[in-house]
Amino acid sequence: MATKIAPAGYSFTQISLHWIIATLVIIQLIIGEDIKPAYRAYRRGTDVTPDDLWNANIHVYIGIAIFLLAILRFAIRLHRGVPAPPAGESVLQHWAAAAVHLVLYAAIFLMPLTGAAAWYLGIGWLGEVHELGKPVIIIAVLLHAAGALWQHFVRKSDVLVRMLKPSARS
């Protein structure tokens, strides 16, 4: 069985999916509160205003888009692989990066699932779990961005550049 060699960088598709999902997640964090009036009305069995329904639909559709794009991104990751960690990275740095990536992947899969279960199936406690995910994803995104900037400006590695510039498959 042949050993899979890590690519030198990310593909155009991987980079595009990263930035599209990142943008959609940030939009969700900004407009996420807009779904609450519609959700409360839905839970009480009262009428939802057209504006509240519009806001809720935007939030739900963006969440579905994030979930579907995350599936595609993860499938490509499994098929193509990812670049190796930068040379000279300590075990602690590697562990921290892996932990933040795990939290981010968990969030981009679990947030849409818990939100959809609360919205479409009326499972209220999953709505609570969904809301608890917001500070988790904010912290993970901030750590992820800080790590990329630290790698770029302090360690002078190519970690940030390879998420901005596509690389041919090596």
- Domains of the chain by start residue, with CATH: 12-163 (1.20.950.20)
Predicted local distance difference test score (pLDDT) of residue 1: 53
Q: Quick one: residue 167, left, alpha or beta (phi over 0 = left, psi -120 to 50 = alpha)?
A: beta
* Residue range 4-24, pLDDT digits in tens: 788 889 999 999 999 999 999
Quote the tokens at residue 154: 């302090």
CB 55 within 8 A of CB 38: yes
At 145 the pLDDT is: 97
The pLDDT value recorded for residue 39 is: 86
Residue numbers of the chain with a pLDDT score lower than 50: 170
| Residue positions counted in the chain | 170
pLDDT of residue 3: 58
pLDDT for residue 170: 45
Residues sharing a CB contact under 8 Å with residue 9, sequence separation 6 or more, in sequence order: 83, 158, 162, 165, 166, 167
Orientation angle between helical segments 12-31 and 91-121, nearest 10 degrees: 60
Cβ-contact 162, 10 below 8 angstroms: yes
